[in-house]
Amino acid sequence: MIRDWEELEKMKEHAKILCEKWYIAMRSAEERFERAECIRNYNALRGVIKALQWAQGGHENPLN
């Protein structure tokens, strides 16, 4: 299914919000396993954001 520009932009903004929430959760996590989960999700969302920016023609290849 092909996504339109507006849908890509909405997904990117939603991913940025979630990324910020995981970053805040990571900063307040007390246990090591909690921090690890937060960092894992934060980094995954950074990849999502980079891929969506690439799909919109704004950045280099997300695999680099």
Q: Write out pLDDT tens, residues 9-38.
A: 999 999 999 999 999 999 999 999 999 999
pTM for the model = 0.84
Least reliable range by pLDDT among 2-6, 9-13, 49-53, 59-63: 59-63
pLDDT of residue 5: 87
Q: Looking at beta carbons, which pairs linking 45-52 to residues 24 or more positions away fall under 8 Å? A: 45/15, 45/16, 45/18, 45/19, 46/19, 48/11, 48/15, 49/12, 49/15, 49/16, 49/19, 52/8, 52/11, 52/12, 52/15
